Structure formats: structure tokens, C-alpha cells
Amino acid sequence: MTKKNTPHFTTQTEAAPPPVQEKVEETPFEAAASICSVLVIGLFILTFLCQNFVIPSGSMEKTLLVGDHLLVDRISLAPPARWMPLVHYREPRRGDVVVFLKPGEPDMYLVKRLIAVPGDRIHLRNGIVIVNGVAQSEPLAAPTTSDNYRDYLDDFPAVPMSPDLGATEAWSVAMPGYVHDGDLVVPPGRYFMMGDNRHNSLDSRYWGFVPRENILGRPLFNYWSFKTPEDQYEQSGLANNLAWLGHVALHFFTQTRWNRTLHIIR
């Protein structure tokens, strides 16, 4: 009996082709919603968390220069909010560099150094700041010399301020009421500010105390600095703005102060 050989066939299974993925295009509505989301987040950050600030004058030289672009922390010095319980809030301290609204001019932003807090007694003697009887060490402040000495600035408040010296009329009238035994006493809820460039700074010696609610925040660091004339930010008009933009574009690399990039403000 012969054994019939049956042929042996092997079957190969072909790999299934990968599924075709359909390209889903974003609808105009979804694109608009994405853009709006980015704008809302950016607006929230600039309104509540941080803010861009440009130095327009030399009142804080050499701590801050004209043309410095700062990122300002608007949270830590703000009044505590229940909806942000994890944020570290604190009161303004002596020595802080702060951004605030000028008293009596709510549209004008200023940046100065905080010299005295509520309850402090302050006076200047030959340009040296004395707070509560202690002479302050201020290595960043411009020193007083025989060439730049001005009695109403360097011996404040011993020399009466008056409008013809640059003080506001309201402050000239009110200031004597805060002077006791030769010291200016800072009232509750108020702060005394001065620029580091002491002889080129319109500050609390000219217009008085800054209310707590006027303090907006403190500069964190300088993210870009460009050599800028001190009167540049006083210029107005479209032609001047376009000319300045052209100047910045043309000299961006040569007139940017690269050594001040990401410079921490102290």
C-alpha cells in the first residue's frame, strides 16, 4: 500500500495597510478661540502678575538707566487676595525699588527707592539720609559733594520748600505739619521715596508721601536695555516715533547694553 504524498502549502498573510488618518482642519471659529485664549492669558499676566516698564529719566542712575526695560512684579506688594492663597505677599520695605503712581497724577508711573515707611522719622544732613537717628548706608546713591550740594535737597527738611524751588504748592503747605524736632515723620499708610540720583530726582522731597494704594510693584530684572537720550520719551508725534523705531532697528546690536540683559534690580 503506497502512501499518497499530499502537497503541503504554506499560506502567507499580507500585513494590513495602516489606517488612513484623516487630516482635521481647524475651523475659523476654533482658530479665533485659540487666539482669544492666548490674548486673555497675556492680558491677565500683564494686568495682575507682571508688567513691562521703561525707564524714561535718569533719576535712578546708576541703578537704572534711561532705556532700561524692566519686568515688574505686581503680586508680592499687592493687597492679599483670597483667590491666590499660595502667593507670598509682603509689605513694602526700606530699600525696595518700587513702581508707583505719582500722588496727584494718577496717570504717571514713577520708579524710586523706598526710603522710609510709616512711623519712621527722617531727615537729611549734608546729603546723608538719617532714619530714626541712624545714618543709612546707601552705596548706590549719588554722593553729595561741594559741587552738587543744594541746601533744600541735602539738608531736607531743615530748609523750607516752596513752589519756586520745584515743590508742589500742596506739599509746601502741608509739609511743616509733619516735621517734629527736625525730623519728617511718615504718617500711617504713607511712604517716602527718593531717586538714587539724588540731585536729579523729583521725589518725595518735592511732592510728599506716596499712599500705600499707589504702590504697584517692584522691578525684578532688566530684560533689555538700549542707549536712549533722556528726552526721547518726551517726544510725541508719529514722525518722531517712526524715526526712533528706525533708529532702534538700525542700531539694535551696537547700542543695546548687552551687559545689562537679565540684570537683577536691587
Residue 112 known to be catalytic: yes
Question: DSSP letters along 122-138, please?
Answer: EEEETTEEEETTEE---
Q: Which of 112, 172, 201, 225 is catalytic?
A: 112
Torsion sign, CA atoms 200, 206, 208, 210? negative
Cα(168)–Cα(163) distance, integer angstroms: 6
Q: Which of 23, 37, 59, 62 is catalytic?
A: 59
Residue 34 known to be catalytic: no
Backbone angles phi, psi at 154, to 5 degrees: -90, -10
Question: DSSP letters along the chain, please?
Answer: -PPPPPP----PPPPPPPPPPPPPPPPHHHHHHHHHHHHHHHHHIIIIIEEEEE--SSTTTTTS-TTEEEEEE-STTSPP-TT-TTS------TT-EEEEEPTT-TT-EEEEEEEE-TT-EEEEETTEEEETTEE---TTSPPP-TTT--HHHHTTTTSPP-GGGT--HHHHHHGGGGEETTEEEPPTTEEEEE-SSGGG---HHHH--EEGGGEEEEEEEEEEEB---TTGGG--SHHHHHHHHHHHHHHHHHHB-GGGTTEEP-
**Could you give the residue numbers annotated as active site?**
59, 112
